[in-house]
Amino acid sequence: MASAAENARRDQQGKIRARWLLSTPALLIIFIAAIGPLLVMLAYSFMAKGDYGDVKPGEFSLDGWFSVFLQRDIFDDTLTLADAHLSILWRSLRLSVITTVLTLALGFPTAYFIATRPRHTREVWVFLVTIPFWTNLLIRTFAMQQVIRNEGVLNTLLMWLGVINEPLPIMYTDWAILFGMVYVYLPLMVLPLYASLEKLDFRLVEAGYDLYAGRLAVLRRIIIPLVKPGIVAGSILVFIPSLGAYVIPRVLGGGKNLMLGNLIELQFGAGRNWPLGAALSITLMALVMVAMLFYVRNASRAGGGHG
């Protein structure tokens, strides 16, 4: 018996070693392509700024992290809040949250509509949703620019209908960035929601109606709790790229309405302050992680109440 148990234990250990060996190439790729650059950014954030960009590897400095939220007066060395950085951080968080809420408000009925179509037509609707992914992000952003500019489709239509007398100044504002992000990231919300709604047993919805529940009650007590994983997945897929958006604020914001991605690029480019850019990059990653943990934990607790 002892010999059989020992052999079983050795077999189990051999299987574990084989799994690790098989997964080693993938783990190396993840480390080199993902974790490696993050470690480089983390190291850069604790180095001194070079005279013409770059960093001074032999000099330890906290100036990069210090400059994320604070700034020193050039005349009397008094410390004040870095208002420009804080305003950009607030704009990034605000626009990302609003984008997530709007894509959820637009994506949920869209996904519900697709999930309730006959099975042989659902693939066509999903295909239509995925068509924007065939086009480069930059091209889609320029397409939105042609819609919301002063002589664009939106203003032309509103003036033709007599709703407005002169073009609305949408371009190079936060509204332009918001429109662009909602347009670009909407499919990322629709697809996870559709995947959850497709698995929904609609007999439960019919049972709710049979028990004299109204539409809002059915939506709040039956549908939303059952498709919560899709809501969480879609919100994460939209919020993360929105928070670090670069192309959309650059094109539609006109370089005046910066977000965190633009601020980071500015420090590595014209600003030539690599430690600050690295510290901002790590700060952005930390914000994303905190938001994900907070959202997923709250969603799990809310879902557990319906279990």
- Same-domain status, 124 and 256: yes
- Same-domain status, 117 and 256: yes
Q: Answer with the one of 45, 80, 115 that is the final residue of a domain.
A: 80
- Same-domain status, 74 and 125: no
Q: Residue 229 has which token pair?
A: 């994983």
Give residue 145's domain range.
82-304
- Same-domain status, 182 and 251: yes
Higher pLDDT, 263 or 31: 263
- Bridge partner list, 51: 53
b/e code 243-279 from CB counts within 10 Å (16+ = b): bbbbbbbbbbbeeebbbbbbbbbbbbeeebbbbbbbb
Residue with tokens 């783990």: 27
Structure confidence at residue 176 as a pLDDT band (50, 70, 90): very high
- Same-domain status, 224 and 214: yes
- Same-domain status, 42 and 158: no
- Same-domain status, 58 and 112: no
Structure confidence at residue 306 as a pLDDT band (50, 70, 90): very low
pLDDT value at residue 298: 66
pLDDT value at residue 190: 94
- Same-domain status, 292 and 192: yes
What mean pLDDT do residues 35-50 have? 88
What mean pLDDT do residues 137-148 have? 91
Task: Give the residue from 20, 88, 8 showing the smallest Cα distance to 265.
Answer: 88
Average pLDDT, the chain: 86
Number of alpha carbons in the 13 Å side-chain half-sphere of residue 279:
22
- Same-domain status, 239 and 271: yes
What mean pLDDT do residues 265-269 have? 89
Q: Residue 302 pLDDT > 60, yes or no? A: no
Rounded distance between C-alpha atoms, residue 220 and residue 233, angstroms:
19
Q: Output the DSSP codes for the chain.
A: -HHHHHHHHHHHHHHHHHHHHHHHHHHHHHIIIIIHHHHHHHHHHTEEEPBTBSEEEEEE--HHHHHHHEEE-TTT--EEE-HHHHHHHHHHHHHHHHHHHHHHHHHHHHHHHHHTS-HHHHHHHHHHHHGGGGS-HHHHHHHHHHHHSTTSHHHHHHHHHTS-SS----TTSHHHHHHHHHHHHHHHHHHHHHHHHHT--HHHHHHHHHTT--HHHHIIIIIHHHTHHHHHHHHHHHHHHHHT--HHHHHHSTTTS--HHHHHHHHHTTT--HHHHHHHHHHHHHHHHHHHHHHHHHHHHHHHTT-
CATH number of the domain that residue 98 is part of: 1.10.3720.10
CB 145 within 8 A of CB 171: yes
- Same-domain status, 150 and 202: yes
Q: Answer with the one of 80, 115, 133 that is the final residue of a domain.
A: 80
What mean pLDDT do residues 164-189 have? 92
pLDDT value at residue 292: 78
List, for residues 50-107, the tens digit of each pLDDT value: 888 788 888 888 888 988 888 877 777 777 888 888 999 999 999 999 999 999 999 9
The count of domains in the chain is 2
- Same-domain status, 119 and 201: yes
Task: Give the residue from 247, 245, 244 showing the smallest Cα distance to 138.
Answer: 247
- Same-domain status, 63 and 94: no
Q: Answer with the one of 80, 108, 136 that is the final residue of a domain.
A: 80
* pTM score over 0.85: no
Higher pLDDT, 3 or 79: 79
